[in-house]
Structure 1
């Protein structure tokens, strides 16, 4: 009896190659495409940022350090504009903006924290309604907001006449009047900012505090507020920056009645007070950038610290 053995070589054709497969290729060998680096996806955003922020920043720096010759000679580089921006009415306006922004930010933080806590502990419908309204009101400003308050709390406003506020010394076109207007969009912004941090407070912490006999006040004083402090300070910094950069509402409502750096920049650029002060306006803008940079230098470490606690 003759038996036929089939060897691996017998299943190959011709020169020993498997039919339809390249020599040396594995069973899963497929042509691979080289993938582009992941950072290429961010190139359009980086280019837009460079154009939208970089070009104005360079122009601002160039103008702030360009000093014009009063005699009509060629301009030179120096710190004369910066020195002028920190003197007289310009310095008063810068201090006024810092004072107004700090006052409005502190009051908005004090009012926004309990409101955000009520939203967190309330029903889902209340939470969605308040957060949606806060998102709208936090971005509502400018001339429409000024007109709304003038019609309501101005010298001839509805509430001013019905409540007799004018006889009690109330004036919307003052420092505290502007603070009230700023609270209209700063309090909703605080609610949006602090709500995620309040969501991060674990229920186990409150239960553990109650198990040890702590009251609600003691829980907030010794547990919740120390954990929330970085987020609270970060929100306070964010509110300060938002109020510090506001312009249209104050310009439409108080004009030059309240000295603010944004209004001084507008007057210097348009030549309402003195002609040829455009570079001083750019120096004032640089002062605002420095203040905003200091604010962000405080905000970023606080944000990182709060994220570690509430993660």
Structure 2
């Protein structure tokens, strides 16, 4: 008899029995070989190697070399002193401010979306807009703000001509760090919605019901259940926004074309300026510092995400 499959037996002229059906023997599993479908990822690995791994190697090695190729630590010392330390500080401050502002505003918007109708028109519109605006950066975003709030932007001209209000009466705020913070927050908010919304939707209604069954109210639920589960995801999303703002270049270059108060702009000046010839390795040292900060932020984000996934899995 074959386990799990009853067999029907028929009598034979010799008096014995012959099974009418016999289960086929299972074939041994065949080890998978590298096929054409798996070779499809080869272009991706080539692309990543050429435009991520190899530039990283060049940056790291260049940070510890002189212009003649000798080993030195002078580039790293110069990267954290005087003007270079100031641009690092301003970059970290700008990234932290926009990350916190984007996290708070985007978190509130994500909560409003999560508590609304799941298949409502407003939810679909916000998600579609967030997916688009989160990637709307660079020169296009800078041009949009210049066309809207620049010296000759339509909002600027409308307020000046119709209401006699000059939004540049207190300085050229759009072409400085305050204006750049506003522009950065513009694409930080939709990115926060995309990243944080799955965590909010992962809160199960049974947890609130269990809390209410045990006599707890809304305050007890958020204190002992909701916030302990959401805060790692919120903190991780904030770190992701920080890394996103810290590594931005094109938007700042378009708005602050005559200055380099940020580390990304400083690196671009060292690599392309005809005045600062021979300081490419100093730019590599600044880029190496950026790599250290971004990698640290990414590792912390991964740890927080792993902690959240235990509850929201």
Asked if Structure 1 and Structure 2 have the same fold, meaning a TM-score greater than 0.5 normalized by the shorter chain, the answer is: yes
Q: 1:135 aligns with which of 117, 131, 137?
A: 131
For residues 31 and 312 of structure 2, what CA distance do their matches in structure 1 show? Answer: 40
Counterparts of 1:263-274 in structure 2, within 5 Å, are 263-274=265-276
Q: 1:160 aligns with which of 148, 156, 165?
A: 156
Q: 2:86 aligns with which of 92, 102, 108?
A: 92
Q: Corresponding residue for 1:116?
A: 110
Residues 1:129 and 1:79: Cα distance change in structure 2 (over 3 Å) = same
Question: Is the CA contact (8 Å cut-off) linking 1:109 and 1:235 kept in structure 2?
Answer: yes
- Name which of structure 1's ranges 165-174 and 27-36 shifts more when overlaid on structure 2: 27-36
Residues 1:214 and 1:5: Cα distance change in structure 2 (over 3 Å) = closer
Q: Corresponding residue for 2:64?
A: 65
Question: Is the CA contact (8 Å cut-off) linking 1:101 and 1:244 kept in structure 2?
Answer: yes
Q: CA deviation at 1:159?
A: 2.8
Question: Is the CA contact (8 Å cut-off) linking 1:64 and 1:286 kept in structure 2?
Answer: yes
Q: Corresponding residue for 2:6?
A: none
For residues 186 and 302 of structure 1, what CA distance do their matches in structure 2 show? Answer: 19
Q: CA deviation at 1:154?
A: 2.1
Q: Corresponding residue for 2:174?
A: 172
For residues 277 and 261 of structure 1, what CA distance do their matches in structure 2 show? Answer: 15
Q: 2:217 aligns with which of 214, 217, 230?
A: 214
For residues 259 and 62 of structure 2, what CA distance do their matches in structure 1 show? Answer: 28
- Name which of structure 1's ranges 112-121 and 167-176 shifts more when overlaid on structure 2: 167-176
For residues 266 and 132 of structure 1, what CA distance do their matches in structure 2 show? Answer: 34
Counterparts of 1:1-311 in structure 2, within 5 Å, are 6=14, 28=25, 34-36=31-33, 41=38, 44=42, 45-68=44-67, 74-123=68-117, 124=119, 125-161=121-157, 162=159, 163-168=165-170, 171-210=173-212, 212=215, 214-215=217-218, 219-257=221-259, 259-311=261-313
For residues 48 and 272 of structure 2, what CA distance do their matches in structure 1 show? Answer: 27
Q: Corresponding residue for 1:71?
A: none
Question: Is the CA contact (8 Å cut-off) linking 2:260 and 2:266 kept in structure 1?
Answer: no
Residues 1:137 and 1:5: Cα distance change in structure 2 (over 3 Å) = closer
Residues 1:195 and 1:5: Cα distance change in structure 2 (over 3 Å) = closer
Question: Is the CA contact (8 Å cut-off) linking 1:112 and 1:187 kept in structure 2?
Answer: yes
Name the SS of the counterpart of 1:230 in structure 2: helix
Residues 1:293 and 1:33: Cα distance change in structure 2 (over 3 Å) = closer
RMSD (Å) for aligned C-alpha atoms: 2.8
Larger Rg: 1
Provide the TM-score with structure 1 as the length reference.
Answer: 0.82
Provide the TM-score with structure 2 as the length reference.
Answer: 0.81
Query: Gapped runs of 5+ residues in structure 1?
Result: 9-25, 69-73
Query: Gapped runs of 5+ residues in structure 2?
Result: 1-11, 17-22, 160-164
Question: Is the CA contact (8 Å cut-off) linking 2:150 and 2:156 kept in structure 1?
Answer: yes
